[in-house]
Structure 1
Amino acid sequence: MNKSRHVLYLSILNLLGFLATVVVNALASILPINGITTGELSDLYPNLFVPAGLTFAIWGLIYVLLGIFVIYPLIPSVRRDAQKIDFVRRIGPLFFISCLANIGWIFAWHYQIVPLSLVLMLVLLGSLLAIYLRLNTGKSNATRAEKYLVHLPFSVYLGWITIATIANATALLVDIDWMRWGLTQQFWAVAVIIVGIAIALSVLFTRKDIFYCLVVDWALLGILLKRLSDTTMADQNIVIATIVGLVIATGGVIAQLIRKKAY
């Protein structure tokens, strides 16, 4: 099989995987799968890391960006330029694997098989991280088109799934009634917020990836709004930690923009 045909097949596979993912995620809310929506399931595992419901609107942006990513290499004028679509070869089947993991997660989550849902979330996270590294986001000399039509979608997607993985792990701990080693729920919530901020800043300053960091900002804002609105689980330390995190992460993004270091 010649290289151009191989890339075309991968592009079609990516498109099919994307469409299947969108359909399954839509059905999860429309039907819903197993008679309960994704959001209602989150409420079954109450914890201090869950963001406000409006935060999940970011999935709309993620799917729009991924839609652009899968369509871009199928545009005839782009497909004829081997250099422009080389990213498809570099990514290989990883995006399709991420789609399968996403679909699998929906079913595992809706049927409340929480341990399996975390395993599938880790597969999704791992495949997206591998794509991110193969694209060498923030360090490559990619064209402007590739940066914004290919790298950007995965910066946003990976940023959100990083936070979602932490939330999924937290849900599992709630599900198994973890005793938290005698420490308070508030302590662990602040701890995971600090971990999320540290990861975001690491990506920001090593990859110059403001988009990844902005997604973490969005998640932190959602956590803050949830804590401020949920008086039964409100906690001053979590509110303070979230606000400090927002200030630090946003400050880092602004600093990168001022220094013109953003990719």
Structure 2
Amino acid sequence: MKRIWKRIAVAVGAVVAVVGAFVGSGAAGGTPIQDAAGGALSASATAIAPDGPAFSIWSVVYVGLIAYAVRQCFRTADDDRHTRLAVPAVLSLLLNAAWILSVQFGFLWLSEPIILALLAVLVWAFVLLRRSRPSGVVEAVVTDGTFGLYLGWVCVATAANTAAVLTAAGFRGFGLGQDVWGVLVAAVAGLVGVLLAVWGRGRLAPTTSLAWGLAWVAVARLDGPLVSTPTAVAAVVAAAAAVVVTLVVRARAGWRGAAAGGGAARRAAAARPA
């Protein structure tokens, strides 16, 4: 029964998250996120805010989350991987909706602890998924891929949200200027991407969404009311660094696997009688 209730909780959480996204888009008569809270989260609000098209990645994430919710309803009863993932999955879905509502109602300050909690929960999910291998291609795409994209994008979103909250609170960056802060934050985001690549053994999904977000930060800083060429360059370099390290780590893992397989084959051949 406990496993069944977890499945139901994930399914309900997915519905809540999708409804929250529908409201946050403005389609239900509400204010679009980029216009809510006095425009604090718009593309021109801070130096690290991504351009509008960057948020289209949410559509991919939500489709993946719905597919994950459906898939986990039909998993086998002894699937410990999904059972362990259920709690952080539900928390991430509810926190997602809570973040949207906090911005919609103008509680920008409240959005910060919520998105930090969301980031922590997604790291928890990433740790759980990292400990075991997916059962097949579908599992790798629907579960690992979805939560990987989710984590990478929320890393960028957390940086943008933090900058928006501080700016709205009157923080002026100790007089360092938007270019300096933009470069510093982009560098930190790139470092996070590199660490995720190494720690995640070259998983593509987190790097893809993180690089996507940073690329749109660069676009926003090259064209718009808040131009910052240093920030744009730093964002591109950070995205490239995360991608290159991910590919290198992934390639090295493949080489080690091939070497291990070859060694096992040679030992088996030597053990066979002549």
Fold in common (TM above 0.5): yes
CA shift in 2, pair 1:247/1:96, >3 Å: closer
- The 5 A counterparts of 1:243-262 are 243-259=236-252, 261=254
Matched, 1:142 2:134: yes
Change in Cα spacing, 1:42 to 1:222, as seen in structure 2 (3 Å) is farther
Seen in structure 2, the aligned counterparts of structure 1 residues 254 and 88 have a Cα distance that, compared at 3 Å, is: closer
Equivalent residue number for residue 21 of structure 2: 25
Q: Who is 2:35 aligned against?
A: 40
**Could you list the runs of 4 or more consecutive aligned residues of structure 1 that deviate by over 3 angstroms after TM superposition?**
256-262
* Range with greater deviation from structure 2 (22-31 or 244-253): 244-253
Please point out which of 153, 163, 169 is paired with 2:156. Answer: 163
Structure 2 vs 1, CA of residues 179 and 252 (structure 1 numbering), >3 Å: closer, same or farther? same
Matched, 1:101 2:98: no
Instruction: Supply the AA of the counterpart residue of 1:134.
Output: L
| Identity among equivalent pairs (%) | 23
User: Distance in 2 between the 1:141 and 1:156 partners?
Assistant: 17
CA contact (8 A) 2:10 2:86 kept: no
Give the letter for the 2:80 counterpart. Answer: D
Moved more, 121-130 or 139-148: 139-148
Q: Give me the TM-score of the superposition, normalised by structure 2.
A: 0.84
The number of residues matched between the two structures is 248
Counterparts in 2 of 1:104 and 1:245: CA distance versus 1, 3 Å: same
C-alpha separation in 1, matches of 2:72 and 2:233: 45
Q: Note if 1:8 corresponds to 2:4.
A: yes
Letter in 2 for 1:52: D
- Where 1:40 maps in the other structure, the secondary structure is coil
Match of 1:49 in 2: 48
| 1:175 alignment partner in structure 2 | 168
Secondary structure at the counterpart of residue 48 of structure 1: coil
**Ranges in structure 1 where 5+ consecutive residues have no aligned partner:** none
1:159/1:213 contact within 8 Å kept: yes
Q: Which segment drifts farther, 244-253 or 126-135? A: 244-253
- Taking the aligned partners of 1:199 and 1:190, their CA distance within structure 2 comes to 14
Q: 2:214: which partner in 1?
A: 220
- The alpha carbon displacement at 1:140 in A equals 2.6
Question: Once the 2 structures are TM-superposed, how far is the Cα of residue 237 of structure 1 from its aligned partner?
Answer: 1.1
TM-superposed deviation, 1:24: 1.9
Alpha-carbon shift at residue 93 of structure 1 (Å): 2.4
Q: Distance in 2 between matches of 1:42 and 1:255?
A: 41
Q: Structure 2 vs 1, CA of residues 42 and 159 (structure 1 numbering), >3 Å: closer, same or farther?
A: farther
SS at match of 2:72: helix
CA-CA distance at 1:98 after TM superposition: 1.8
For residues 29 and 47 of structure 2, the distance between their equivalents in structure 1, rounded to whole angstroms, comes to 26
Deviations 1:189-212 (A, max 9, x none): 111100100011111012122211
Q: Any stretches of 5+ residues in structure 2 without a counterpart?
A: 256-274
Per-residue displacement from partner, 1:87-109 (whole Å, max 9, x unpaired)? 23212422222222111111110
In the other structure, the counterpart of 1:197 is: 190
